[in-house]
Amino acid sequence: MNKPVTPLANNGNATGMTSGVRHDNEAKARSDEVMYEVLAFKLASETYALPLAGVQEILKPPRITRVPRAAHEILGIVSVRGRVTTVIDLRRRLRVREAPFNKNTRVLLIDAGKEVLGLLVDAVLQVYRLYEDEVELASAVGGDLNEYVMGIGRPRAVRTLGRASGTEREDPNDILIILNVGPLLSR
């Protein structure tokens, strides 16, 4: 028989219970708000995100076959369950310095309408659920690559569990550069 899990803080003292109740009330109050679900990933030292609805699968990089005279950002093609898929190096597309593959490198399979494309990223982090007030639209972002940027996400409740203490911390400096899939894959 499964025992119910009770949130405890301060080494089991009952004072930690009010924090759990407060978070439940906040969650209920926000349940009516618009929410964006995005998949966060790393490219170099920046954290980017794509709308989760467009991500079909996350793969370890399979063997990539080069395509002669392909555009610079096209790494090549791969076969995924019998379907040929083009793989785009997102570092090249976004003009970020290239780096070798490592154990965290992944290919995101993205629904591009008529086909599925692969995007090579440095590492996949997590899924974020962002409320409308945690996303700033791209009009606030400048630069020469702003056509690829849908907006900036500032997750209010980014929590990292402390291994030894079991405490949570919020990092107000975490930002997500949310990419616009349409323009990103249209070239």
56 is a domain residue: yes
pLDDT of residue 14: 40
CA distance linking residue 129 with residue 123, whole number of Å: 19
Runs of H (alpha helix) within 17-163: 17-30, 90-93
pLDDT of residue 136: 83
Answer yes or no: is 16 within a domain: no
Q: How many distinct structural domains can be found in the chain?
A: 1
- Report if residue 6 sits inside a domain: no
Tell me, yes or no, whether 15 lies in a domain: no
Q: What is the pLDDT of residues 155-174, one digit of tens each?
A: 875 544 444 444 444 455 57
Q: Is residue 12 part of a domain?
A: no
Tell me, yes or no, whether 53 lies in a domain.
Answer: yes
The pLDDT score that the predictor gives to residue 128 is 93
pLDDT digits (tens, 9 = 90+) for 10-30: 333 344 444 454 455 555 555
What's the pTM?
0.73
CATH number at residue 133: 2.40.50.180
Using alpha carbons only, give the angle 107, 123, 153 rounded to the nearest 5 degrees: 105
Q: Which domain holds residue 179?
A: 32-185
**Is the residue at 142 inside a domain?**
yes
pLDDT of residue 168: 45
Report strand pairing: 176-179 vs 46-51: parallel
Q: Is residue 7 part of a domain?
A: no
